[in-house]
């Protein structure tokens, strides 16, 4: 397996979070695993768009696709990621407290 630098790992993480839809997907998956069709409906985007975003998140190592029959259920690759996302959100609010989040 090819080793990558810590900077490259953080850059992939940053790239994944640089899109609002991908960030919203991650925040939904913090709460519970989900199916692409449910994510598309909840976020109001096409299934193709969700598929592309999930592929990116999977390639970045942030989510896993768990086969269930003919469907895949998506979940965070590591539960520690949920804590990290909450910490990042808290940090952003501490820096700019007027940036109060709305529900995803």
Q: Is residue 10 part of a domain?
A: yes
Which 3 state secondary structure label does DSSP give 86?
helix
Q: What is the pLDDT along the chain (104 residues), one digit of tens a residue?
A: 678 899 998 899 999 999 999 999 999 999 999 999 999 999 999 999 999 999 999 999 999 999 999 999 999 999 999 999 998 888 776 666 666 666 54
Cα 89 from Cα 87, distance rounded (Å): 5
Domain count, the chain: 1
In a domain, 76, yes or no: yes
Q: Is residue 103 a part of any domain in this protein?
A: no
Q: By the 8 A CB rule, do 21 and 53 touch?
A: yes
Indicate whether 88 belongs to any domain.
yes
The number of angstroms, rounded, from the C-alpha of 102 to the middle of its chain's C-alpha atoms is 17
Quick one: which of 22, 21, 6, 7 has its CA closest to 58?
A: 22
> For residue 76, what is the domain's CATH number?
1.10.10.10
Strand partners, 25: none
């Amino acid at each position: 397996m090819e080793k990558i630098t810590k900077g490259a790992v953080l850059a992939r993480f940053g790239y994944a979070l640089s899109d609002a839809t991908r960030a919203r997907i991650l925040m939904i998956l913090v709460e519970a695993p989900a199916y692409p069709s449910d994510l598309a409906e909840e976020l109001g985007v096409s299934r193709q768009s969700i598929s592309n975003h999930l592929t990116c998140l999977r390639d970045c190592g942030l989510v896993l696709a768990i086969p269930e029959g003919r469907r895949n259920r998506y979940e965070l690759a590591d539960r520690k990621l949920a804590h990290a996302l909450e910490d990042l959100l808290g940090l952003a609010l501490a820096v700019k407290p007027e940036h109060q989040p709305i529900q995803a």
